[in-house]
Amino acid sequence: MGNKFDAIILGAGAAGLMCAIEAGKRGRRVAVLERADRAGKKILISGGGRCNFTNLHCLPENFHSANPHFAKSALARFEPSDFIALVEKHNIPYHEKSLGQLFCDRRARDILEMLETECRAEGVQMFLNSKIQGIRHADGFTVFTGSGYFHAPALVVATGGLSIPKIGATSLGYDIARQFGLKIREPRPALVPLILGTIDHAQYCDLAGVSAEVEVSTDGVKFREKMLITHRGLSGPAILQISSYWKEHSPIRIDLAPGRDFTMAIREARERNMSSARSALQGILPKRLATRWLDLHVPKTWANPALDKLEGAIHEWVIEPVGTEGYEKAEVTAGGVDTDELSSKTMQSRRVPGLFFIGEVVDVTGQLGGFNFQWAWASGAAAGRVL
Ligand SMILES: Cc1cc2nc3c(=O)[nH]c(=O)nc-3n(C[C@H](O)[C@H](O)[C@H](O)COP(=O)(O)OP(=O)(O)OC[C@H]3O[C@@H](n4cnc5c(N)ncnc54)[C@H](O)[C@@H]3O)c2cc1C
């Protein structure tokens, strides 16, 4: 089989499908080569099965990258409202959950079916179960697969990151970048639960399932959201968010009572003792966590200086995680193709004309809350509009 196209897109995920639609709209003959037996598997499992497809308050500050300015151009030219217009055109019911996060009312499959319908309407050809064996670059790009070769003057790499290998993540995107001599920022798991060291584990992990609203910080970055204790460490939105900024062997600070003065109730109590301390803290934290935390932080006296210390400790619980739950549990991969290698307007390689990288394979990572899909749509559209 020999197939000539205007553009070949590797990967039928969020970014690849959006890119295909935009290129198809401009009359380009597009082939999408996908390794799995169906497109968009990650879309299907996203947002707990409801796909948090964008965020109304999407700002460049919601993304991290070695170059924090890189994402601005693509994000400005394909905004959340552009994606919402598509969702509304397809009559997909959705709602705002919190903090601008938009989710499907029914199921994530609505979003995938919408993208597939748009692809079909634009004549995009999809080749599932494609095993990519190699790429040759001479007079355009030739992609060799188990079932034949494909040729086009443009090649778009949209193969995503390394997270969730069991649904088909591969390193192909990074391998292609290396083949063409492009720099890569070391990939690492992000939006991922953290593992506690032996002592913290022994002290807290039997409370698995307990959650509390906290403020976590590391390296000058802060999030105030829910934290969940797990069998191996900590998770929940606050921890997933901070995990993307956490560097190995560095501490994380957790304020267990943000904005609250818990010792005031002890100071005003008829008697200052463990019982008044417990009831004060149980007004702020779940009972089991409050009790445990106090048992591990019994003040030496009940005088004001000791209470000041106790107050300080609740606002600054310092932990040093020993690692993350890795790509098996990570929602995204941080790092990736260095943005210095790419045009921020088109996602095209500066060194290799005709070669594009979009979506998660690029060193742009969104925070939790629909930002990663917004980056996939925006970077996909940026490339699709110039193919
Ligand atoms: C459990 C989970 C839940 C998530 N929920 C959300 C959410 O609600 N909101 C949000 O914004 N983000 C969410 N994310 C993140 C989001 O899914 C990704 O950031 C986004 O899908 C990235 O899009 P992409 O197109 O770059 O990569 P992907 O969507 O991962 O697509 C890459 C495609 O390339 C294919 N591929 C890989 N290797 C090869 C190969 N060798 N040959 C051919 N094809 C290949 C893959 O099979 C896949 O179809 C979630 C992630 C996970 C894991």
What per-residue confidence (pLDDT) applies to 163?
A: 95
Look at residues 153, 150, 189, 187 and name the one whose alpha carbon lies nearest to residue 172.
187
Q: Tally Cβ neighbours within 10 Å of residue 14.
A: 31
CA angle 208, 209, 210 (to 5 degrees): 95
Ligand 1 centre from 315 Cα, in Å?
Answer: 37
Q: Is 330 helix (H, G, I), strand (E, B) or coil?
A: coil
Q: Which residue's C-alpha comes closest to atom 17 of ligand 1? A: 42
Each residue of 54-79: pLDDT tens digit?
A: 999 999 999 999 999 999 999 999 99
Tell me if the pTM is above 0.85: yes
In short, whether 160's Cβ falls inside 6 Å of ligand 1 is yes
In short, whether 381's Cβ falls inside 6 Å of ligand 1 is no
Hey, which residues does 143 pair with through a beta bridge? 135, 150
Copy the structure tokens of residue 197. 């060291």
In short, whether 132's Cβ falls inside 6 Å of ligand 1 is yes
Report the distance separating Cα 358 and Cα 379, nearest Å. 5
The number of angstroms, rounded, from the C-alpha of 315 to the middle of its chain's C-alpha atoms is: 27
Atom of ligand 1 at shortest range from CA of 373:
11
What per-residue confidence (pLDDT) applies to 2?
A: 53
Residue 16 has pLDDT above 90, yes or no: yes
Report the distance separating Cα 227 and Cα 214, nearest Å. 6
Residue 8 has pLDDT above 60, yes or no: yes
CA angle 146, 152, 155 (to 5 degrees): 80
Beta strands 125-127 and 30-33: pairing type?
A: parallel
* Residue that is written with structure tokens 């109304």 in the block: 56
Please choose from 34, 41, 42 the residue to mutate so as to test ligand 1's pocket, defined by most ligand atoms within 8 A of CB. 42
DSSP state letter for 137: E
Q: What is the DSSP string of 2-44?
A: EEE-SEEEE--SHHHHHHHHHHHHTT--EEEE-SSSSS-HHHH
In short, whether 163's Cβ falls inside 6 Å of ligand 1 is yes
Residues 184 and 59 sit within 8 Å (Cβ to Cβ): no
In short, whether 12's Cβ falls inside 6 Å of ligand 1 is yes
How distant, in Å, are the alpha carbons of 123, 257, 269, 303 from that of 286? Answer: 55, 11, 21, 26
Atom of ligand 1 at shortest range from CA of 40:
49
What per-residue confidence (pLDDT) applies to 161?
A: 97
Q: Report the chain's terminal Cα–Cα distance, integer Å.
A: 24
Atom of ligand 1 at shortest range from CA of 358:
26
Hey, which residues does 194 pair with through a beta bridge? 234, 324
Residues 309 and 346 sit within 8 Å (Cβ to Cβ): no
Give the pLDDT band (50/70/90) at residue 136. very high
* Residue that is written with structure tokens 């991290």 in the block: 64
Report the distance separating Cα 56 and Cα 54, nearest Å. 7
Q: Tally Cβ neighbours within 10 Å of residue 98.
A: 9
Residues 63 and 371 sit within 8 Å (Cβ to Cβ): yes
Q: Tally Cβ neighbours within 10 Å of residue 209.
A: 11
In short, whether 360's Cβ falls inside 6 Å of ligand 1 is yes
What per-residue confidence (pLDDT) applies to 147?
A: 87
Q: 59 phi and psi, to 5 degrees?
A: -130, 155
Please choose from 372, 374, 379 the residue to mutate so as to test ligand 1's pocket, defined by most ligand atoms within 8 A of CB. 372
The number of angstroms, rounded, from the C-alpha of 18 to the middle of its chain's C-alpha atoms is: 18
Give the pLDDT band (50/70/90) at residue 1. very low
pLDDT (average), residues 131-138? 96
Report the distance separating Cα 9 and Cα 28, nearest Å. 12
Look at residues 238, 269, 261, 220 and name the one whose alpha carbon lies nearest to residue 61.
220
In short, whether 55's Cβ falls inside 6 Å of ligand 1 is no
* Residue that is written with structure tokens 């598997």 in the block: 41
Longest dimension (CA), the chain: 86
Each residue of 31-57: pLDDT tens digit?
A: 999 999 999 999 999 999 999 999 999
Each residue of 332-380: pLDDT tens digit?
A: 999 999 999 999 999 999 999 999 999 999 999 999 999 999 999 999 9
The number of angstroms, rounded, from the C-alpha of 179 to the middle of its chain's C-alpha atoms is: 26
Give the pLDDT band (50/70/90) at residue 98. confident
pLDDT (average), residues 248-277? 94
Residue % of the chain over a pLDDT of 90: 97
Residue 320 has pLDDT above 70, yes or no: yes
Ligand 1 centre from 172 Cα, in Å?
Answer: 13
Mean pLDDT score of the chain, rounded to an integer?
96
Residues contacting 292, CB < 8 A, separation 6+ = 203, 204, 207
* Residue that is written with structure tokens 């005709």 in the block: 354
Give the pLDDT band (50/70/90) at residue 185. very high
Q: Tally Cβ neighbours within 10 Å of residue 23.
A: 27
Residues contacting 42, CB < 8 A, separation 6+ = 13, 14, 160, 164, 167
